Amino acid sequence: MVTLSADRARYDRATAHLDAPLAIVDLEAFDANAADLVRRAAGKPIRVASKSVRCRALLERALRLDGFQGIMSFTLAESLWLARAGFDDILLAYPSADRAGYAELAADPKLAAAVTVLLDDPAQLDLVDGARAGGGEEIRVCLELDTALHLLGGRVRIGARRSPLRTPDALAAFAELVQRRPGFRVVGLMAYEGHVAGVGDSIPGRPLRSRMIQVMQNRARAELAQRRSETVRALRRVVDLEFVNGGGTGSVESTVAEDAITEVAAGSGLYVPRLFDNYRSFQGRPAALFAQPVVRRPGVGVVAVLGGGYPASARPGPTARPSPTCRRGCATTRRRARARCRPRCWARPRTTC
């Protein structure tokens, strides 16, 4: 997607006094994207994923809107920082080995009430207890379900390796173990289908690949919907679940369509990085861009920009590279931006998480 020239002119005017490198967020586009996420969530609350936004003021902006509720955070230190800043519903969506952080959490009733940590292994209970240093607060716990799609009797696995807990029985057994342990309470379940939410199903110039992704995702959605609902049923027999979280920007519609789901996570859909150019289900407005200074013109139609920009946290390679959005036809080569832009080259990140 090429940024409209009117937008580029607006960004140039707004930042004329600044030297690149610089990054901007177009608040008009951000708000439009937020409204579209709320529409897609069809009445279920959106938990905003902080690692995709990485800006507290913008987390606050999203949470002021009807339809957003709570934060999905990335580290324990960040969760405590957010809780101290007044956020009161924080789901730490990744296991942590931060012993000092657990000691703080267990010692402070306000922090312990605001932050829910993610556990999926009995060893993590020992780690938390070993870190308590006398802190007796009850730790709120979210369990994670492995969402990967298994094919050919498990010989092929599609999806990130996250939780070791895959079956309703395994989740229920782990929930009972946590409940029996003094000082812990299971309050939620999270199941993030990254192979659906984070993989575009309409890749320009790749119809066959797009079709294969669509078939895989249909299969994954159906398999997960059933397993997620059975898991929630099994868990509700042993614990009181406050929430069942799933999905991400790319899967909002299909995730919220499941009865078992009480909330959906989304973050990068507020910025709409390049990844989301390849989705059939929605179109957003690029809201996060950065500019690198153009320092050389080694040849006709070729410029060199200084610095690497905003690489994606994905596997390194061409797909993680940001893409210039200056003009139609503008692209990066291995080391140069091919463009007529000057004195700076605007680009969009590939992903923001």
In this chain, which of 68, 192, 279, 310 binds ligand PLP, going by CB under 6 A? 192
Query: How many Å apart are CA 264 and CA 100, to the nearest integer?
Result: 30
Q: Which is nearer to ligand PLP, 95 or 293 (CB)?
A: 95
In this chain, which of 168, 188, 248, 309 binds ligand PLP, going by CB under 6 A? 248
CB 261 within 8 A of CB 44: yes
Q: Does 265 participate in binding ligand PLP (rule CB under 6 A)?
A: yes
Token digits of residue 192: 């993030």
Token digits of residue 9: 């002119």
Q: Which among 2-10, 200-208, 261-269, 292-300 is the span making contact with ligand PLP, rule CB under 6 A?
A: 261-269
In this chain, which of 168, 269, 309, 324 binds ligand PLP, going by CB under 6 A? 269
Torsion of CA 8, 12, 13, 18, to 10 degrees: 160
Site string for ligand PLP, 203-232 (x = CB under 6 A): ------------------------------
Query: How many Å apart are CA 343 and CA 324, to the nearest integer?
Result: 14
**SS3 assignment, position 294:** strand
Minimal distance, residue 67 CB to ligand PLP, in Å: 14
CA distances from 107 to 91, 111, 119 (A): 18, 8, 19
Q: Which among 4-12, 13-21, 60-68, 259-267 is the span making contact with ligand PLP, rule CB under 6 A?
A: 259-267
How many secondary structure helices (H) and strands (E) does the chain include? Answer: 11, 17
Peptide bond into 343 cis (omega under 30): yes
| Residue 325 backbone phi and psi in degrees, to 5 | -125, 20
How many residues comprise the chain?
353
Judged by CB under 6 A, the number of residues near ligand PLP is 15
In this chain, which of 70, 267, 286, 309 binds ligand PLP, going by CB under 6 A? 267
Kindly state the helix (H) or strand (E) to which residue 265 belongs, with its residue range.
strand 263-266
Q: Which among 129-137, 174-182, 192-200, 330-338 is the span making contact with ligand PLP, rule CB under 6 A?
A: 192-200
Minimal distance, residue 266 CB to ligand PLP, in Å: 4
In this chain, which of 96, 116, 249, 325 binds ligand PLP, going by CB under 6 A? 249
Q: Which is nearer to ligand PLP, 18 or 257 (CB)?
A: 257
Minimal distance, residue 188 CB to ligand PLP, in Å: 12
Query: How many Å apart are CA 94 and CA 51, to the nearest integer?
Result: 11
Q: Which is nearer to ligand PLP, 325 or 351 (CB)?
A: 351
Site string for ligand PLP, 27-66 (x = CB under 6 A): ----------------------x--x--------------
Q: Does 93 participate in binding ligand PLP (rule CB under 6 A)?
A: yes
Which single residue brings its beta carbon nearest to ligand PLP? 248
Minimal distance, residue 61 CB to ligand PLP, in Å: 16
Minimal distance, residue 256 CB to ligand PLP, in Å: 13
CB burial string 3-36: b at 16+ within 10 A, e below: beeebbeebeeebeeeebbeebbbeebbbebbeb
Q: List helix spans (H) across 181-238.
A: 194-197, 207-236
Of 353, 31, 25, residue with least CA distance to 197? 353
Q: Which among 59-67, 121-129, 213-221, 267-275 is the span making contact with ligand PLP, rule CB under 6 A?
A: 267-275
| Residue 213 backbone phi and psi in degrees, to 5 | -65, -40
Query: How many Å apart are CA 226 and CA 175, to the nearest integer?
Result: 20
Contact residues toward ligand PLP (CB under 6 A) are 49, 52, 72, 93, 192, 197-198, 248-249, 265-269, 353
